[in-house]
Structures are given as structure tokens and as C-alpha cells.
Chain A
Amino acid sequence: METRTEPTPSSTVPGGASQSIVIAIAGSGGDGVALMGDLLLKMAAHQGLYGMLVQSYGPQIRGGESAVILRVGDREICYEGDDTDLLVCFRASDLKRFRGSIHLHERSVLVMDEKDEGELPEWLGHGGREAYRHPFATFDGGVEVAGDPKNMMALALICRALGWSEALAEAAMRDCFSHKPALVDRNMPTFRKAFARTDVPALASLKGHGVPLFVETGNEAVARGAMAAGLQFFAGYPITPSSEVMETLIEELPEAGGRLVQAEDEISALGMVVGASFGGVPSMTATSGPGLSLMTEMMGLASMAEIPAIIVDCQRAGPATGMPSRTEQSDLFHAVFGGHGDFPRAVLGVFDVVHARDVMFRAFELAENYQLPVLVLSDAYVAQRRQIRDAVVDRRDRPQRHRWSSPADGPTRFSLTIDQPANPFRVPGTPGGTYMAAGIEHTEEGNPSADPVTHQRMSEKRFRKLESIAADTRTWVRTLGRADAPRGIVAWGSMYGVLQEWVAEHPEYRVFMPEIIHPFPLEAFSAWRKGLKDTSTVELSFQGQLHRYMAGLTDMTAVRSIARSGGLPMSKRELAELLAAPAVAATKE
């Protein structure tokens, strides 16, 4: 499958998975919940089923209660679903942290420990249905002791419920523990013992297309997408939820001929990127909100000195430390407006794991063509999820920076008279091309200047890039639903998954999702909004940053702002409630 770098026509976007199953597993540190999720996802991918997995954990990031929610189905999935079809819960008390993430329906299967008499929370919506019981825990004198691995037992029961074979499970385990085959040998008897139970209630059967698919996280997709687009230098500093971008690149970038430095802080990380890119090498960093704050001055430098730089921001709930493992869409203002002085930058948004590759390619395209900082806004919901995707064939036409080779390419580095948006880049090592890049305002030659006229002209020149980018990217939007649907939703980033399914079930809605946030594809938006009876922006930002940002660009007086702070991604259930609530603002359009 080709990497999709052209907008998918709205009519061909599949309307959500035609059939899918949601499985939730809740436990505590040491129960091996995360591993179970990984194994199940692998098994689904192997059969040609699609799916996604999200993990939920506390502020401590390691240890404590943890849960995975896994949804598998026969179509591409980028939303975790509303209701759980099968819940495995090792201790009822573990559930209390997952309010809002796990919800049962009337036919859900609930699997609990044989001896667990803990009360299930009201919000779970279990409806008093009898749980399927299994002796997961081992007791000695009434005290729970370490016994056979609970996750192996649970895995076996889930396989039974799904109708998946022992061989499939064993293959997934062998793949996961290829370096420790003895571990699999040790665990299989436990698996088999539980698998022998044939009375597990069956779930709807799912049929994959049989061609094995791939499991990737949003962060991995960002890293690999960047490499496919020509990334050769990365510098970063660990921060949740973006660290896996760097970790993936530590494994894969040097092998592919690139270089990587773990910097002492985010200021340095972007500094190194600016330095490497000054050297002519396509470069990138990845961070989250607090890191982006530290990078802000350097962002201005990259723009002022006209140096390509890619900054991936995996947004988390902020401000300050906020909730590091939780998702939010509240760095939009910072990405679009952050920094002192006037400087151009471009901002892109990531919909899901598959989209991440396209976005990275586009980010490099813009950065290398226009020689400015490009921010890619991902978020914890996309970054940390595992999603099953088709195979991709990377594009071969990698972005190439236009290079200066002789005075015929323009007499000076920052010439004002050149007829293209960015001057040919003078790569160090090129004879006759020496110049000074500077954060100080400069003349066409790059020499420091405090002349107000020069400052005005240089600002005009730098900002002309945005006009060109806007023209180049006017189709970088995705619309969902019927073009004549009377009700409209405007959203961005990871809201894509839930909206895709929302529209499939609610044909009265159409959705506008910009892939480029700044410069905003205003022309496409104006065309899209024609004939709407009412419109809402929907976002995970307390202030309603998208709505406010758009209000500075176009008439938003009749558009309702549905905005809440992050933490949990938006569910279809919540969306229904929010859209049904009486509008405070007028909704005529």
C-alpha cells in the first residue's frame, strides 16, 4: 500500500469497523496486563485483523494499577470503542482507577477471580450479570502468594472466547520472546490448563483477511515516517509520552546511516538539530509540552536563520507537569503562536498511526523546501497506542533542500530579490559559499543589522513562505461524511478516530479535519462549511484553543465550541451528550 500523502476523498473513508470486539484487562503491576494486550494484538495482526490497543496507567508511569483496552475488527481501527465486550479483572478493587475508560453493556462477558468478592463499581454498568469465574490467584493460608502467571490463564480464556487457537497464541509468544524460548516453554502448560476450559462464553467471531499485518505505535510511526522522508540526524531528551520516538531511532537510525544524540535538555536537543541542519542534514527532535516550552527560543532562531527543523510534540495534559501520561490538545496555541517576535513556522496535526507517516513526509517536505521550523502535533492518545496497519511502501521522492552551488544560484544567502520563497541553502563545505547564519537581524549577506527598513523587508521575505505554503497545502484536509449533511464538526488531530465512526453512524453530520493547522486551509474550510445548519468545534482543550484560533481567521460567531480539558480521549457516548446539550451560543449558519 502506498503511503497516503494525498487527502483521502471523503466518500471512500470506511465508515468504522463493520464488526469489532472490545476487550479490557485490568490488573496491578506484575499481573502482566500489558504483555497480554501485546500478544492479543499480535495474534489479531497475524490473522489479518485490524485493531488498536491503549494502555491506561497512573501518574507514576511505572507500577500501580494498569489496564489495557484492545479493540479488534475487520476494518482499520483508530478508535478504542465505547463499550467493553469482554472484561478480565483480576481484582475488583483494581477497577476503580479506570472510571470512564471501561464500560460494560448488557451482553458483556465479565471474567473475575474465583475468590474475588469485591464490589464492582456502579459506573461500570455490569447490570448484575453473573461473572465467569476462574482461579487466577494462588492462596496460602488466606494470603495471596505468587503462583502460575495469571496473564497466561487470562490469555487462554480470551482465546477461547474469541475462538482463537492455541497454536496462534504460542506463535505470538514465541515471536515476543524469541530471545527467551525457555520462558514460553515454562508458560505454555499454564496456558493449556486454562485453555482446556470449554465453557467460556463465546464472543462474536471475527474473520481477518489472512494477510499478516503490522503493529506500530504512534511514536514508532513518527520515527519511521521521518526516516522514510530522509531524516539523518536526531537529538532528543526523554519525556513522556514522546520518548519512544527517540528509542525507536536509537535502534533504527544509526543502522540506516543516520546519527543521534541524547541531549542534556530540550534546549540543547533543538540546538543540535539546528546545528546539524545548518550543516545541510535533514534533522528532527521530538518532545512533549514542557520540552516545547524550552525549545521556543530556538524555534525562533531556526526561523530567523532560515534553517529547516522538525519538532514533534506529543501533547500531554498540561500545563507544567500536568498529567504526563494523559492526552490533551492544548499545545495548539504554543505551536502556532509561541515565541517572541514575529516568525513563520508551519504546524501539522497527526490523526492516527497510519496518518503519522504521511504527516512526517509532509513535515520534511515543508521544512526542507521552505527552510523554517515545522511542528508536528501528535498526542499521548496517538503516540502511545498500538495500532494494526497495512504494509507501507515508502515514497522514493524524498524532499531535497534546494542547494546553492555558485553565484548563479543567487548572489547572497538572504537575498531579497530571489523569485522563490526560500533562497538556495548554502551547505558548509561548498566552495565560495561562506556566510554567517544569525539570530540577529541581518542584511542580505547575513551581516548584523539594526536598520528598521531591513527588519521590515526581511520579515516580509520570511513571511512570504507562509503564503507559498498555504497555496501548496490547501488540500491538506480530510473531510468525513456527506458533503450536504446539515450538521458540521470541526476538529483536529487524534479526534479523527472517534469522528470517523461518529459520522458513519450519524449521516446528518459532516466533519472537517485540517491536516495542516498553520497556515490554516481556510479556502477548503470556507467551501466545506457552505449550507451547514449548525456547526461545532470539538477538542480536548479547556480554553477551546482551536475555536479561538479559528476565530482569528474566519467568522466563528455561529460555531459552538465544545471543549474540555484532556485526560481521557473523547468517546462516542460523550460526544453524543455534548452535541445534544442545548447550545449556549447561537447555532445558525
Chain B
Amino acid sequence: MLKAKDYRTDLQPVWCTGCGDFGVLKGLTQALADLQIEPEKLAVISGIGCSSRLPGYVKAYSFNSIHGRALPIATGLKTARPELTTIVVGGDGDGFSIGLGHIPHAVRRNTNLTYIVMDNGIYGLTKGQASPTTDMDSKKSRGLAGADDQPLNPVLLVLSAGCGFVARTHAGNMPHLRAMFREAVEYPGFAFVHVLAGCVTYQPRGYADELLKRSFELPAGYDASSLEQAMGSAHDVRFALGVLYKRPVAVAGATAAGGPGREWNATGDALKQDRPSE
């Protein structure tokens, strides 16, 4: 029986005390324990950023790659090795700025990946520049570049690209994180989890609490299978938390390459017989 701590390496996170990413790490290892995924059958892939350090702290075949390119690397891995549970993690700069071009394509390919974005609305690793999700007032008041640029709405983005599983959670809410990650990993298709996270160093004091204050739990009777309701919640100026959209599993339609059922000796142990040639 694997416990959450069995998914941790010996490495101590470099994150600042109080960083929201600690919660994500904990929630993720709890979800993995819930699902009893063996570490050697697990791959955690990231690009570059504070949150992209996370793969180093999870016992798995991990890959801390280059800025913005976690999704292509994970897509290649999952396509070639569909039996591996493949989780992509990163931040808002990595995912929504430099790596944004890959998101709609990963969504429409519907490779069975779980993509967790720890969105703290700032470039932390490079010390506090505006990210695509930094709000305009904050940019203005702090003199950051792009004060007149609209922030990006990640949930609306992935929904409009056709993502089959979209959830939002808050880095301070452990049981919720755990539940969202569990459901996302179990979903047989591309799953996106938007994590509202604080940055204790480059966001104002109380920023994480502010995010929580602006959040609300989805009301009873919310129909997650309704794209219309999901779009509505995405447009809300407040942050709806929970599974915002879940295309029914029966029609989730993960690509054949990434899904179960197709015989595929990926590691090439048996290269079968040699191909006859002309």
C-alpha cells in the first residue's frame, strides 16, 4: 500500500516558505496514493519556473525540461508509452506565455495527459515580472510592463479549444486539491487543472487569501457535463472552484495512441520480425 510520502524524493523543495506549490505537491502525492499508481509507471513532466521544480520532488520518471515545452515532451512520451500515467506541471508563464501555442493542440489531440498549472499570476523565478494572468490594476500599481494588456482567462481558453476535463482549485485547500487531481488523472483524455496559487515573495501580502475570497464553490445542481454552464462559469469574474466541465467518460475519446486497448510494445523489447524489404 503506497502512502503519499512514498511518492516523495529526498529532495527538499527550493520554494519560499508559504509558497502555494507546497500544497500542490502534497495534494498530488495524496491523489497518487489514492490511485495507487506505482512510481515506476508514473511520469511527471515540467518546463521551467518555480512550480516546474516539482518533478524533482516526486518519485517518478520525471523530466524537468525547458521553458514552455512540457506539453510536447509529455505528448511524445504518452504516445510512445501509453501505459505510463503522465502528469504535466508548470506555472502560468511557462504554460500561458512561452508555451501557450502548445495548449490548444494538446487539447485537440486529446492525448491522455493531466496538465496542472500553478497560476500565481507572476514570474517568480525571474523575480516578479508580469505574467499573462497578472491583473491590470496590479500591473499598473506596481509599474509592471503591459499594464494595458488584458489578462488571459486560462479556463476559457482550454474550454474553447475543446478540452474534455476542466477543473479549478485553490492551492490552500488540501482536500479539494487532492480530489481534483484524482479525478483529473482518472479522466481518460486530456485533463486541465487550474490551480490558484499565491506567491509570498512577488505578490502582495494576502494575495492567496484574496484569490480565495474571490472564489466560490460550484452550486448544487451544477451540471459539469454542460459546456454552456462551464462557459458561463469561466466568464464569471469570480473563480468557480470544482470540476467545471467533464465530458462524459464514454465520449471522452482519448486518442487511440494515448489510450488503452491497442497492442503496442513500446519499449521495443520485441521488435517483432524484421520488416520484409524490397
Contact = CB atoms under 8 A, between A and B. Distances in A.
The reply to whether chain A is a binding partner of chain B is yes
A305 B267 CA distance: 19
Contacts of B272: 257
B271 A230 contact: yes
A80 to B, nearest CB: 24
Interface string B33-44: 000001111010
Contacts of A297: 66
Interface of A: 214, 224, 227-228, 230, 232-233, 235, 256-257, 259, 261, 263-265, 267-269, 271-283, 297-298, 301, 305, 391-394, 396, 398, 426-440, 447-448
6 contacts: A228-B277, A233-B76, A282-B268, A396-B274, A436-B64, A438-B64
A214 B77 CA distance: 36
B40 A272 contact: no
Interface string B247-278: 00000000001000000111110011011011
A357 to B, nearest CB: 10
Contact of B64 (A267, A432, A440): A440
B188 to A, nearest CB: 18
A228 to B, nearest CB: 7
B259 to A, nearest CB: 13
Contacts of A448: 53, 56, 64
Contacts of B39: 434
Contacts of A298: 66, 69
B32 to A, nearest CB: 13
A385 B187 CA distance: 47
Given A272-B79, A281-B80, A301 B271 contact: no
B73 interface: yes
B73 A275 contact: yes
Interface in B146-205: none
Contacts of A434: 39-40, 59-62
Contact count band on B? 35 or more
Interface of B: 9, 11, 38-41, 43, 45, 48, 53, 55-56, 59-66, 69, 71-81, 83-84, 101-102, 105, 109, 257, 264-268, 271-272, 274-275, 277-278
A259 B79 CA distance: 7
A344 B160 CA distance: 42
Contacts of A261: 75-76, 79, 109, 257
B80 A267 contact: no
B80 A276 contact: yes
A433 B62 CA distance: 11
Nearest to A440: B64
Contacts of B9: 436
Contacts of B265: 257
Given A271-B65, A428-B84, 9 more contacts: A228-B277, A233-B79, A275-B72, A281-B268, A305-B65, A394-B277, A429-B84, A433-B40, A436-B55
With a 10 A CB-CB cut-off, give which of B63, B64, B267, B274 has the most chain A CB atoms: B63
Contacts of A228: 275, 277
A283 B69 contact: no
B63 to A, nearest CB: 5
Contacts of B64: 436-440, 448
With a 10 A CB-CB cut-off, give which of B55, B63, B76, B77 has the most chain A CB atoms: B76
